Amino acid sequence: MPGPCNVVVLLSGHGSNLQALLDSTMAPGSPARVCAVVSNRADAHGLVRAHAHGLPTCVLDHAHYAGRDAFDAALMDSIDRFTPDLVVLAGFMRILTPAFVRHYQGRLLNIHPSLLPRHKGLHTHQRALQAGDTEHGCTVHFVTEELDGGPLVVQAVVTVESGDTPHTLAQRVHAQEHRVYPLAVRWFAEGRLMLAASGRVYLDGQPMAASGHVIRQ
């Protein structure tokens, strides 16, 4: 890709993953740069982080649109103004329409706080504890039309300790999110990571395992 890989980050909340991406992409020689942050919530703390870095931001309140299709059309419009090479979902709490997902096919990443395909959806830390899982973690994946169902890129595994609560587990998983998301974005920006039309993920020209690259402590 000529020049740095332009990344637009979508978020709804705290933005700690945005912060991790900013910290890594602002390092000298980074192949990626965050060029804008888009939120569906005006009170998202991630916007404060973006402003602190002088980044352009855009807020689209989904409540102001007639439905999902209208909202996603406006969202695509706002995102595309920044001509992104990659769109990164970092705690963006909206279900996206098939039209949106297709528009960014192969250049749309998400991070999910579980070892997919286990625990799709919400309350993953609580559900991992309730299920008696001995391992938990987080996953970066390409986004497809199936919610939390796209092909996996990288997972970080965390051991569940006796005495863990959803809160303590979330803290350890979050720390891993901040490692693996910048890693996946760097791979993409370096042109090393791609989603083939077959739905298979390739790293350095080699097909990845279905679990993606797995990092264990």
Catalytic positions, written as ranges: 112
- Residue among 41, 49, 103, 112 that touches ligand GRF (CB under 6 A): 112
Decide: is 166 part of the binding site for ligand GRF (CB under 6 A): no
Q: How many residues bind ligand GRF (CB under 6 A)?
A: 14
Provide, rounded to whole angstroms, the least separation between the CB of residue 146 and ligand GRF. 16
Q: Are 104 and 83 in contact (CB under 8 A)?
A: no
What angle (nearest 5°) sits at the alpha carbon of residue 102, between those of residues 98 and 108? 105
For position 41 contacting ligand GRF by CB under 6 A, the verdict is no
CB contact burial 84-96 (16+ within 10 A = b; e otherwise): bbbbbbbbbebeb
In the bound complex, what is the minimum distance in angstroms from residue 155's beta carbon to ligand GRF? Answer: 12
Is 96 annotated as belonging to a binding site? Answer: yes
Plot region of 115 (φ>0 → left; ψ -120 to 50 → alpha; else → beta)? beta
103 with 76: CB under 8 angstroms? Answer: yes
Q: Pick the binder of ligand GRF from 7, 9, 10, 15 (CB under 6 A).
A: 15
The only residue of 36, 79, 101, 111 in contact with ligand GRF, by rule CB under 6 A: 111
Q: How far is CA 87 from CA 3, 11, 193, in A?
A: 17, 11, 14
φ, ψ of residue 147 to 5 degrees: the values are: -60, 125
Tell me which DSSP letter residue 4 carries: P
Which range touches ligand GRF (CB under 6 A), out of 15-23, 24-32, 62-70, 100-108? 15-23
- Nearest distance in Å: CB 185, ligand GRF: 13
- Residue 133 in contact with ligand GRF, rule: CB under 6 A: no
User: Could you tell me the CA-to-CA distances from 67 to 42, 63, 74 in Å, in that order?
Assistant: 19, 8, 11
Residues comprising the binding site for (6R)-10-formyltetrahydrofolate?
A: 68, 93-96, 110
- Positions touching ligand GRF (CB under 6 A) are 11, 13-17, 90-91, 111-113, 138, 174, 177
